[in-house]
Structure 1
Amino acid sequence: MAVHEEVAFRDLWDEPFVAGAAESGRWRGYWLATDEREGHPVRVGTVADQPDERLGAIADGYGVALAPRPPPASTPARASPTGWSAG
């Protein structure tokens, strides 16, 4: 999948997913896109609570995960004497 710029969500339905803890409730369902699966069950490859754990699980091949698409054009933040500001 990494060679594709974009994949159809339906093509991911049978892939194992890296999921958040069950205690995260609605957020777990949101990031597993349970409402978008037309009744197809989620296959959880592993559970990870922290972002670095999720990335590590993906890199180690335990599953895939959905992520927000970055905006087409973004402004990097730069340091200023008073803190961070959009440039």
Structure 2
Amino acid sequence: MNDPYLCPKCKTNRTRFHRIVQQVEPVKLSPQTGEIVETYSEDSLDAFHMPYKGPSIRIQCGACGLNEAEDTFVAFARNNQFQ
């Protein structure tokens, strides 16, 4: 996280953000109750359970609330650098 951010929605916020670290927990739920029936590790998923491929960190703008992948804020800052 050494890259500057710029919110692509409000286009003004460069300083106030929430870093959201996502922790993946693969589980199997009961279709009737929604209770966790089984918990998997990333190494032991069954054939019908795809591994998580999303971002491990998401960013939320502290001004407007936009919640996106970190790359979105970094790319927008690179394309809109201070003149």
Confirm or deny a common fold (TM above 0.5): no
**TM-score w.r.t. structure 2 length?**
0.23
Greater percentage in strand: 2
**TM-score w.r.t. structure 1 length?**
0.22
Q: Which has the larger radius of gyration?
A: 2
The one of the two structures with greater contact order (alpha-carbon pairs below 8 A, sep at least 6) is: 2
